[in-house]
Amino acid sequence: MIKTIEGQPKIKGKKFCVVASQFNEFVTRRLLDACLAELKRRGVKDNEITVVWVPGAFEIPLVALKMAQKKTISAVICLGAVIRGETLHFDLIARAAAEGIAQAALQTQKPVIFGVLTTDTIQQAYKRSEPKGDNKGREAAVTAVKMVSLLRQI
């Protein structure tokens, strides 16, 4: 028989940090609201959640790393929206955020979840942050809970 290990959908007694970008807050706020609601739905209490606002997506990895280094934090969820403009700035910020978030996870051996939208248009960002529909903030919360549970079992 093959042994299978997978994360559980609910969790108790673990602390989560959400690092959210203030830039494009009109999208990030939608991601954050759905993320927080989903964490609570999955058994995480208000006093087990810390939200840290950073100026932009470029600043997310440093704060995510610092928070993940804390012994009390089980996982960090990174939320933001990088929307393409007319210059290469989009590419630089999107790549730096993705690589930095991945490095934070590898360095700390904790889940550091990538919930940063990288879209060509504001409409695409809105579509991925629907309050009642598709919302990548909600998905990031689910991933964080399952990964904390999974890593406890390994």
**Angle between helical axes of 89-108 and 60-68 (0-180°, round to 10):** 10
User: Could you list the mean pLDDT of each consecutive 10-residue stretch along the chain, which spans 154 residues?
Assistant: 94 97 98 98 98 98 98 98 92 97 98 98 97 96 98 94
Quick: pLDDT tens for 63-72.
999 999 999 9
Residues making up the chain, counted from first to last = 154
- The pLDDT of residue 150 is 97
Start-to-end CA span in the chain (Å) = 18
Domains of the chain listed by start with CATH number: 38-153 (3.40.50.960)
**Which active-site residues does the annotation give?**
89
Supply angle C-alpha 53, 95, 33, rounded to 5.
30
- The pLDDT of residue 86 is 86
Supply angle C-alpha 84, 30, 7, rounded to 5.
100
Q: Are 67 and 19 within 8 A, CB to CB?
A: yes
- The pLDDT of residue 3 is 93
